[in-house]
Amino acid sequence: MTGQKAQLLPGTSAKAIAVAAQLLRQGQLVVFPTDTVYGVGVVAFDVAAVEKLFMAKQRPFHKGIPILLADPADLDKVAWDIPPVAHAYIAQYWPGPLTLVVPRRPGLPGNLAPNDTIAVRVPDCDIARAIIRQAGGAVAATSANLSEQPPAQTAVAGMASLGTVAAAVVDGGPSRGGAASTVVDCTVSPPQILRTGPITAHELLTAVNLSL
């Protein structure tokens, strides 16, 4: 925890994006906009940083941390043995507000999730993807708020919740989506919707010709 006020960085500045990515690579927490709500993240491969993220969020350790990717091609960095249904969803909905639960790649920090799966997505937000790309392609991120509080939808709200524990808050304006992503477990057949969101169950089922 920094104990100091986070830097407020403009999301329109390439220099600010580079600073945010550098802070992530240094093991710091950064708040940034996505296409759904504001997120707070750390580099996904940094065990100590992931632990800091849990503590900053006051998040129970049994609740896994999703991973945001810069590009669909980065999926191989964090997952393997991807089910065909996941590839179908990726082709149609990434970048976008769809989180997929898939088998996690061995070697990822054990504290990211309590089992052998990982939740991943590529946000449809240029600022987020630029930061993630410069930070190495994969950032463990969750909504920018303390656990059980409403997700931050502005940089100001993110600063209010996490401004003393994050190193920086990147301001990209109000979040476009306002609601967390849809989450689908692709490790079971048929896929199971774990959280409803912007993409409906009907859309997901028809996308891959499934029926309940």
User: Rounded to whole angstroms, how far apart are CA atoms 22 and 26?
Assistant: 6
pLDDT in tens, 126-172: 999 999 999 999 999 999 999 889 999 999 999 999 999 999 999 99
CA dihedral 187, 193, 199, 205 (to 10 degrees): 70
**What's the CATH superfamily of 7-178?**
DHBP synthase (3.90.870.10)
- Residue 51's Cβ-side half-sphere holds a number of Cα atoms within 13 Å equal to 4
Q: Is the pLDDT of residue 211 over 50?
A: no
pLDDT at 162: 96
The rounded distance, in Å, linking the Cα atoms of 206 and 22 is: 41
49-79 pLDDT, tens digit each: 999 999 999 999 999 999 999 999 999 999 9
pLDDT tens sequence across 99-120: 999 999 998 999 999 899 999 9
Tokens 């010709």 locate to 209
Helix (H) or strand (E) holding 54: helix 47-57
Give the start-to-end residue ranges of the domains of the chain: 7-178
Arithmetic mean of pLDDT over the chain: 94
Residue 106: both structure tokens together: 């061995």
